[in-house]
Structure 1
């Protein structure tokens, strides 16, 4: 009888121990979830480990001044520390951000539909009136000069920071995607990712364009702002890097699923973003893509 009682007591202690472990595990997981989507003084705004919410179809990753923006079909977020932590942008909820640029007076985001403007880089309002361009799938600029690629009206240019626009080329720009690169030293020199062909360039402010080679169906392009001969292009199926302004290309290994890329303001870091569920995973490389480290979002293996 004593042996049976001892066995029952042992089984009971085992069950209590298992239940305690399960409770602690759930608590740890719950705490991790809260830390992921909350934290700081604004719960639900700052995202750390889960990566910024974009809602699918990640279109853009760009550095504008001291801020990095990432955007997708249903949302966008901004980071001030190189992609380690993010703050969502409620004013761009559902805006489908696709491109971005910072003029002398404002930050502009290309949306679907519309163009969005912010004077502080975090609160955006849809542009109305003469500046309403409808769908804008690509955007770029330097100083007060900005270019917008639209599927309905082609390529448009603004010389007053995005307040007014004129058509530069009614045919070009309809299939542009993401960020249009504009040389700050020469705002007539442009490079744009074209989904119908690949990377294209213009030396006359978008009036005429020529193909640059590299991967086809270009989704994103980036250059080192200190050395614009260093180029990166992300295509639908592969990516490439050039050290001579696009004259020659070499394959570039990107994180799995990466659809957008950008350089840091000092040109020392290349960033890439990939969609992970409804959030973005952001990666960083300091050796032009030879190795990558995760800044935020779930882990993903390289291609």
Structure 2
């Protein structure tokens, strides 16, 4: 976990205990990307990106080429990663962060989060309902219509077609972002984090320790068979003045 004042919290027991580390950067640290037990990248203010290959025993600062405040960072492999931040900034590396290059976002809104499902398909979200999508690793970023105007702080991509994003409420797509649908959550405060295990299970986090859980609500299938009733010809025919039908 990354915190203010260059503070890094590390756990090796699932969060039972935490150890405090510092990167030596001297800035507030915000976004964390944990690839495995050893490889971690953290992004923060003033364009700072720090990296460890030994689980945090030592941290090395990388040259991001920008000075804006970062908000999020994500690595898909030991080589390929993205970081996003203020003023529409998106940067990309394909060599583990030795060289970072800027990508064109076509927005000046602050960008708050990035989520990829592989090396090609991903989303970026930010202020004023901004949603950007790429299918080529960020060579091109396409704006999508989110249908909302509030700030979107986090996005969780499940696969190349499905993703969730949260802010004052949540939005959801199952078609790659062609259509985003707003989904109400049972609280009235801003959601700051979201993560999905799969399409059927996700959690979102808010201030005050509030955690909301998503599971889809389906209509139970009714397999009860409907009896078939047959009304046959009366016999004899012609019949008497009246007949009785039992059912």
What range is the shorter-chain TM-score in? 0.5 to 0.7
SS at 1:221 equivalent: strand
Instruction: With the length of structure 1 as denominator, give the TM-score of the two structures.
Output: 0.55
Structure 1 counterpart SS, 2:29: coil
Tell me what 2:244 maps to.
none
Q: Secondary structure at the match of 2:124?
A: strand
Structure-2 residue corresponding to 1:243? 174
SS class of match (2:92): strand
Q: Name the larger-Rg structure.
A: 2
Q: Which residue of 2 aligns with 1:283?
A: 211
When residues 126 and 173 of structure 1 are mapped into structure 2, their CA distance, relative to the original with a 3 A threshold, is farther
Identify if the C-alpha distance between structure 1 residues 91 and 209 changes in structure 2 by more than 3 Å, giving closer, same or farther: same
Q: CA deviation at 1:152?
A: 6.6
Q: What SS is found at the alignment partner of 1:137?
A: strand
State the Cα distance separating 1:220 from its structure 2 match.
0.8
Does the C-alpha gap of structure 1 residues 272 and 131 become closer, same or farther in structure 2, counting only changes over 3 Å?
Answer: same
How far off its partner does 1:282 sit?
Answer: 6.3
TM-score, scaled relative to structure 2? 0.66
Within the candidate set 124, 130, 133, 1:201 is matched to 133
In the alignment, is the contact (CA less than 8 A) between 1:116 and 1:124 conserved in 2? no
Kept after mapping to 2: 8 A contact 1:191/1:202: yes
Match of 1:230 in 2: 162
**Residues 16-66 of structure 1: CA distance to partner in whole angstroms, max 9, x if unpaired?**
xxxxxxxxxxxxxxxxxxxxxxxxxxxxxxxxxxxxxxxxxxxxxxxxxxx
Task: Please tell me whether residue 213 in structure 1 is matched to residue 120 in structure 2.
Answer: no
Aligned residue among 169, 190, 195 for 1:262:
195
Q: Paired residue for 2:30, among 69, 85, 98?
A: 98
Equivalent residue, structure 2, for 1:60: none
> In structure 2, how many angstroms separate the alpha carbons of the residues matched to 1:215 and 1:72?
29
Q: Is the 8 A contact 1:199 1:213 kept in 2?
A: yes
Once the two structures are TM-superposed, the CA of residue 200 in structure 1 deviates from its matched residue by 1.6
Say whether 1:146 aligns with 2:81. Answer: yes
Length, aligned pairs only: 208
| TM-aligned CA deviation for residue 182 of structure 1 | 1.8
Distance 2:128 2:97 in 1: 26
How many Å separate the matches in 2 of 1:79 and 1:282? Answer: 22
* Cα RMSD, aligned residues only: 3.6
**Which structure carries more relative contact order (alpha carbon 8 Å, separation 6+)?**
1
Give 1:296's aligned residue. none
Preserved contact between residue 87 and residue 107 of structure 2 (Cα < 8 Å): no
1:52 is matched with none
Q: Counting helix residues as a fraction of each chain, which structure ranks higher?
A: 1
2:120 is aligned, of 188, 194, 219, to: 188
Report the equivalent of 1:167: 102
Q: CA deviation at 1:80?
A: 5.9
Q: Is the 1:253–1:289 contact (alpha carbons within 8 Å) kept by the matching residues of 2?
A: no
Does 2:51 align with 1:117?
Answer: yes
Q: Secondary structure at the match of 1:188?
A: coil
